[in-house]
Structure 1
Amino acid sequence: MKIKSAIMAGAVSVSSLCLLSACGNKQQSSSKLVQWQQPTNLTTLDASKATDNVSFGTLNNSNEGLLMAAKNNTVKPGVAKSYQVSPDGKTYTFNLRHSKWSNGKPVTANNFVYAWQRTVNPKTASQYSYLFDHIKNASQIGENKASLSSLGVKADGNYKLIVSLTKPQSYFKYLVAMAPFYPQSKETVNKYGQSYGTNSDDMLYNGPFKVTGWTGTNDSWKLIKNNNYWNAKNIKFNGVKFNVQKDSNTDLNQYSTGALDLTNLVGKQQVGEFKHSKELHNVDMAAPFYIEMNQKNNSVFKNINIRKAISLAIDRDQFTKSTLGDGSKPAQGYVSPGMPKHNGKTFIQDAGTKTGVSYNLNDAKKLWNKGLKEIGKSSVNISLLADDTDNGKSTTEFLQTSLEKLPGLNVSSQNVPSKSKLTRAQSGDFDMVINSWVADFPDPISFLSLFTSNGTYNNGKWSNAKYDSLINKAEGTDANNSNKRWNDLVNAEKTLMSEQGIIPIYYQVRPIAIKPRISGVQFFPTGSPYDLRNIRINNNQH
């Protein structure tokens, strides 16, 4: 999933983390609403169009799919109280509970049929429609070669949903817990038209909370308890107020005075202030940060020596320790830690290599000069695009200084609001852009599928036939052979790095400070970033 700040900040060695904050002496708020700082704005409540962590986090707690993410890379019942899989792995039957929308109307199997058809409809332009590609006729619908009604999802009455896949997909159970697979009301979508999901009023919810107070452009919104939620009796607090504050020092001051219950810590100094405090929680993220180079619009990046030189000029150890200082780790490749092991080995152990992630300025200069000769240039001007968060700014500053050590390279940094950065990245309006991806589910394919030649999120348009073939085999002919599939993915990672298709920088760790009165926030390494259903507020905790 795209992280819209550094998120696209936007969970790793642990599958989930339930945070219980320790006691402190600072002023505590007595509010029944949890006050939570966010680094970037909410961009949409339309589950078919969401792409970033802030939107996914809000959606995960205001809506609910067939299944829900749970600890240890498992899933638990959501709208579906149970499900069965056919022996050949190609038919899923979900048995739905009797649940309601926030307006009191029933959530039915047809709400899922409509939602899934809407997401794969090319007119919706969902960037997550590719997740449906194993469902019968989904790809053909995306190419306007089949009707929406032919999608392999059918309602058998109001409370049974039958899904037909074209081939087995071991991680399908994780997909249906994600926002693009949430139910949607056709009546509501038609009622609000173009404004659907663009503000909190023009929306319907089936999750534990309803979103209120979001106009589509403001810097705060609330999640308020939804009394029509099927499990409302176990939601023991009133909700959360999210406040966007891009200045980390202001955030910390507000947290210190009790105005915030949770805040993201940024940088070495802030994290250091909480070094010995039990209020500090380091949340590992299955989230690599990387540079994409626009090979379609800037021919300079078609040269492999130029791409490799840029990567070799980046001292990732220095950057993570001295600039970030928040526990984030130098990239060892593209796929992050936290994926399931295979035959006792992690993916990084099998695929990790120094190729594509090493630092050697002397070698960088040699390759740079060689590349300049090959493209017939003596100097190059490049813009580096990132968001305007504190991490975004510190990253561009470090990279600009590092890369300008290459003779004849001039780098101009552009830090813009996260929404603008995403729009520009997706439209190809950049030379180099800093992006990140939080794994949608615990499998390396969640990362590696991005950079196929026609990948929706392949913004730099890197293309490699061998890479495409390996991914196709992992998803096709080798899908049911765990050893062959693993080797396909390992070799795909090695190909991506040896060709320097992208430039990995670091794996994110997200340091968060949480007041002692708040417990039960559950963070996940993949997919939606957090679950608020089990929060408890104890105003007597000191």
Structure 2
Amino acid sequence: MKLRKFCSMLIVSGLVASSLAGCGGSGSKTAGGDAAGTQKTSENGKKGPNGETLASEQIAHGMQFNVVTFDTAQVGDAESGSFFLATCEGLFRENNGNLENAGCEKYEISDDGLTYTFHLRKNKWSDGKEVVASQYKDAVERVLNVNLACPYSFFAFPIKNAENYYNGKCGFDEVGVEAVDDYTLKFTLETPEPYFVDKLAYTMFNPIRVDNIEKYGDTYGTDAMQTLSCGPYMVQEYTANQSTVFVKNPEYWDAENVLLDEIDLQQVDETATQFQLFEAGQLDFVAASGDYLKQWDQAASEGKCQLYTDGDVRSQYFAFNTQESCPSGIMQNAKIRKAIAYTFDSQTFIDSVYNSRYTAAYGLVTPNIKVGDKEYRTEVAEPIKEEYKEYANNPEKLQALFHEGLKELGKDTNDLSTITIQYLGYGETTIEKDIEQYTVQRIQDNLGIKVDLNVVGDFGLATAAQRAGEFDICMQVWGADYNDPMTFIDVFRTGGSSNYGKYSSEKYDQILDQLATEQDNDKRLKLYGEAETMLIKDDAAIKPLLYRDKHSYINNRLHGFQYPVFGGKYEFKYAYIVEE
């Protein structure tokens, strides 16, 4: 790994040509499959799924996952989710947009929609121990431990008595999860939930090893090397903020169909360096960005690489701290939040920061999300699309609204320049700096107030600051975990673990409670629309900016690599390297 890191440094210095010969070729370190007691894919004489000739070296190269936690119960982001897609096997796994049986061979749902019975396949952990039903049950108990404050604990609340247990009102023996025997797992729900199976594909429901957690105690989840794998890969090397090496897990139930022997990840912050490494063959995939779009779209059209494009289910927005304890002491007022929100023009933001890459958003729920067989975004109008036009590029009207909010707080002033709000940013990449510059300039130019820019070092520090409420405004991205608007809407329930702005509305919560039991999809569409309007237009708890898409470039040698629709960002299980 030291050799590869050194090569990256040379490329940054502009010495691309002189460094390529020593990077990532046949001189790379041996794939971890040998150390793990398994043969390399190429030595097995296998062909690719479509009859391709496999390369002699099955090693893929990517960028280091920006993992927040190595504890499945604490995962609330796509980067950490990608880590566990590689190392864990839950009941289900997404394959080309379809949910397939993974840890379970088959399952049944009772006629009343309340009981789910899963029949597990024979699988092993990387230390050779069996994966059994009680380990799935242990995962539910752990995520419902209120002392751990797991961000997705609410995912389990539809299970009978799960929320009661979380709130200390019953014992875990009353919760509707049962290990009938080593290979039979049963869930009983409070009320039918049409997307329960989709939720079971999420990381928090993956099996866990209590003995391994107890082994590391309070440090568990802080180091990738603590991870026991029951998935296609296991961790061989890990250096925080630098590199990770995954190798094929020989104990995995489907190891025969896992073709990559090794996945090497390295930290690459700057976009320019990422594309240099991609062109040099030292990264096998890279996301489209800025000025590189036209250049690499053209390269893909000429067959020099593969172009991957698709719709996405990620929404990017500004979140406001709605609490009186916010740094400025004024963001608890909805009119003040709305005045700040309408200083941002979504299309201008996209043009300025992302070179017109994404789609302007005036709602939270992305396209491609459905309620039953109807796409939500085509059925429900974006809440602020029309109202925003009344305030767009009109500082006088925006300032009047801002003054109204100040008066309601008893804090009005003739000199708005005496008011300062705090914007929380993170990172030092070009795009991150562009976001910060755009945000500060738009607010100050339109409202005449001051913006204090607080930039922290990385995503993990930013998440900690957001949870602590150390912001007036911050940027957030939320990706759907399953195919229903609830995956966006319930983020903002009172007390929600990812509701960093601490938005709270009794009426909003009541709508969510109605949705929990409503089975009529037309009524659900209407209720979701009411909740989204309340959140964005009436209470201005967030300001939608854009709906993301997927637009990436993949090395011609890498086949079968996937960008999942839900959960993690990257899926390597089905990937392989072809002979060029």
TM-score (norm 1): 0.89
Q: Distance in 1 between matches of 2:550 and 2:134?
A: 38
User: Which is higher, the Rg of structure 1 or of structure 2?
Assistant: 2
Q: Which residue of 2 aligns with 1:13?
A: none
Deviation by residue 1:181-203 (Cα, 9 ceiling, x = unmatched): 00001221112222323223222
Is 1:294–1:432's contact at 8 Å kept on the other side of the alignment? yes
- Match status 1:58 vs 2:83: yes
- Match status 1:365 vs 2:405: no
- Match status 1:276 vs 2:301: no
Q: Which residue of 2 aligns with 1:8?
A: none
Q: Which residue of 2 aligns with 1:35?
A: 61
Is 1:332–1:348's contact at 8 Å kept on the other side of the alignment? no
- Match status 1:376 vs 2:412: yes
- Indicate which of 352, 365, 376 corresponds to 2:382: 352
Deviation by residue 1:111-135 (Cα, 9 ceiling, x = unmatched): 1111111111112221111100001
The one-letter amino acid of 2:189's match is L
**For 1:448, what is the secondary structure of its paired residue?**
helix
Q: Distance in 2 between matches of 1:347 and 1:263?
A: 29
Q: Which residue of 1 aligns with 2:332?
A: 302
Q: Distance in 2 between matches of 1:357 and 1:510?
A: 27
Compute the displacement of 1:245 (Å).
1.6
- Identity over aligned pairs, percent: 27
Is 1:309–1:368's contact at 8 Å kept on the other side of the alignment? yes
* C-alpha spacing 1:161/1:273, structure 2 compared with 1 (3 Å): same
Q: Which residue of 1 aligns with 2:69?
A: 44
* C-alpha spacing 1:200/1:345, structure 2 compared with 1 (3 Å): closer
**For 2:74, what is the secondary structure of its paired residue?**
coil
Q: Distance in 2 between matches of 1:293 and 1:200?
A: 33
**For 1:308, what is the secondary structure of its paired residue?**
helix
**For 1:523, what is the secondary structure of its paired residue?**
coil
Greater relative contact order (CA < 8 Å, ≥ 6 in sequence): 1
Deviation by residue 1:468-504 (Cα, 9 ceiling, x = unmatched): 211110113x2x2222222111111111122212111
Matches within 5 A, 1:381-400: 381-388=420-427, 389-400=429-440
Unaligned runs of 5+ in 2: 1-19, 26-56
**For 1:400, what is the secondary structure of its paired residue?**
helix
Is 1:290–1:502's contact at 8 Å kept on the other side of the alignment? yes
The one-letter amino acid of 2:349's match is F
The one-letter amino acid of 2:322's match is Q
Instruction: Name which of structure 1's ranges 301-310 and 134-143 shifts more when overlaid on structure 2.
Output: 301-310
Matches within 5 A, 1:110-121: 110-121=134-145
The one-letter amino acid of 1:305's match is K
**For 1:93, what is the secondary structure of its paired residue?**
strand
Is 1:393–1:415's contact at 8 Å kept on the other side of the alignment? no
- Match status 1:340 vs 2:370: yes
Q: Distance in 2 between matches of 1:371 and 1:483?
A: 36
Matches within 5 A, 1:35-434: 35-38=61-64, 41-72=66-97, 74-215=98-239, 217-267=240-290, 269-278=291-300, 279=305, 280-296=307-323, 297-298=325-326, 299-325=329-355, 327-340=357-370, 344-353=374-383, 354=385, 358=389, 360-362=392-394, 363-374=397-408, 375-377=411-413, 378-379=415-416, 380-388=419-427, 389-416=429-456, 417-434=458-475
* C-alpha spacing 1:176/1:337, structure 2 compared with 1 (3 Å): same
Q: Distance in 1 between matches of 2:124 and 2:404?
A: 64
- Match status 1:491 vs 2:515: no
- Indicate which of 513, 530, 536 corresponds to 2:570: 530
Q: Higher helix share goes to which structure?
A: 2
Aligned length: 509
Compute the displacement of 1:344 (Å).
4.6
Compute the displacement of 1:294 (Å).
1.1
Compute the displacement of 1:505 (Å).
1.0
Is 2:79–2:568's contact at 8 Å kept on the other side of the alignment? no
Q: Distance in 1 between matches of 2:163 and 2:338?
A: 35
Is 2:315–2:548's contact at 8 Å kept on the other side of the alignment? yes
Q: Distance in 2 between matches of 1:152 and 1:177?
A: 18
**For 2:451, what is the secondary structure of its paired residue?**
strand
The one-letter amino acid of 2:482's match is F
**For 1:35, what is the secondary structure of its paired residue?**
strand
- Match status 1:539 vs 2:569: no
**For 2:181, what is the secondary structure of its paired residue?**
coil
**For 1:213, what is the secondary structure of its paired residue?**
strand
Compute the displacement of 1:445 (Å).
0.3
Is 1:308–1:356's contact at 8 Å kept on the other side of the alignment? no
**RMSD value, Cα:** 2.1
The one-letter amino acid of 1:473's match is Q
Q: Distance in 2 between matches of 1:260 and 1:343?
A: 39
**For 1:526, what is the secondary structure of its paired residue?**
coil
Is 2:319–2:475's contact at 8 Å kept on the other side of the alignment? yes
Deviation by residue 1:332-375 (Cα, 9 ceiling, x = unmatched): 31111110255755335413231575561213233224334443
Is 1:444–1:489's contact at 8 Å kept on the other side of the alignment? yes
Q: Distance in 2 between matches of 1:284 and 1:530?
A: 15
Deviation by residue 1:3-38 (Cα, 9 ceiling, x = unmatched): xxxxxxxxxxxxxxxxxxxxxxx9996453211124
Deviation by residue 1:305-355 (Cα, 9 ceiling, x = unmatched): 211111211121122123212621111311111102557553354132315
Q: Distance in 1 between matches of 2:543 and 2:400?
A: 18
Q: Distance in 2 between matches of 1:514 and 1:271?
A: 13
Is 2:426–2:432's contact at 8 Å kept on the other side of the alignment? yes
Unaligned runs of 5+ in 1: 1-25
Q: Distance in 2 between matches of 1:391 and 1:146?
A: 48
